[in-house]
Amino acid sequence: MQGALPMVPLTIEGYAVLHQMFRFRWAEWRKLPQEQKNAVLVEAHSALSQMESDGLSAIYSILGHKADLMFVHFRNSFDELNAAEVRIANLAISDFLEPSGSYVSMIELGLYESTIKLYRSLTERGVEPHSDEWKREVEETCARQKQAMSPRLFPKIPGSRYVCFYPMDRKRGESKNWYTLPIEDRGRQLNEHGTVGRRYADTVRQIITGSIGFDDWEWGVDLFSDDPLVYKKLISEMRYDEVSAVYSDFGTFYIGVRRHPEELEGFLSSGAPDSK
């Protein structure tokens, strides 16, 4: 369409993120002599406490059959994520952890409003898309936004009692395709969607991660709160927005309770339901 703005919105990225989901091998754990259990727990407590101390790793006990434990890591790079993953794999407790899922992504903020404003300005001035001048102004805009949004891009994992994590896509079907909409329409829908989320800002901390090119879905969503009921209310209300009702698909939901390393002994001593 003549005069249309470029399709791709600008984004800024922060921490690399890894979610690790595990089933715990309860039957094998119960057979282990108490002396060996104690040694495993001492080592795990030491390592996991160190990893948690800077606020960039957290452990959650997962409700339901999908997993028993979920580890979440925020790091500066994929190399550091890999180091965290390998460190856990080298702990004796990993002999009882059976991977049931994982998710790789990066904290992402979409800049639809800034993108549209910038693209309009460049187009009106006759700047050729993807020219050196265009790229320079794009880079300057992203740098300014990244500096201003640094606390949202590089946060500590919230200390809330509960987490809700799920992946999602924008539809690319024959009749409904998010990626064929003009950038202005997408920006409008996301702004309306965000208005709902902001009404819950006092009770929910939301962290969006981008995973296009990294994992099977396009985005990951973490919701942190001290009241799990708010997840139902927030997500239900958002489902009525156009962007969710028409253009979104959702993956597996995980609901977890925060477990600090010092709670592991009590958690593992309590055993597990037969269904797990």
* pLDDT, position 276: 43
Nearest CA-CA partner of 190 in 258, 274, 248, 132 = 248
- Give the model confidence (pLDDT) of 185-203 as tens digits: 999 988 888 888 888 889 9
Q: Is the pLDDT score of 75 beyond 80?
A: yes
How much is the mean pLDDT over the chain?
A: 92
Q: How far is CA 180 from the centre of its chain?
A: 25
Comparing 147-151, 254-258, 262-266, the range with the smallest average pLDDT is: 262-266
Average pLDDT over every residue of 259-266: 90
pLDDT of residue 34: 94
How confident is the model at residue 30, as a pLDDT? 94
What pLDDT, on the 0 to 100 scale, is given for residue 106?
A: 98
What pLDDT sits at residue 102? 98
pLDDT confidence of residue 253: 98
Q: Is 240 a catalytic residue?
A: no
Out of 15, 112, 119, 166, the active site residue is 166
The distance of Cα 154 from the centroid of its chain, to the nearest Å, equals 13
Q: What is the pTM of this model?
A: 0.91
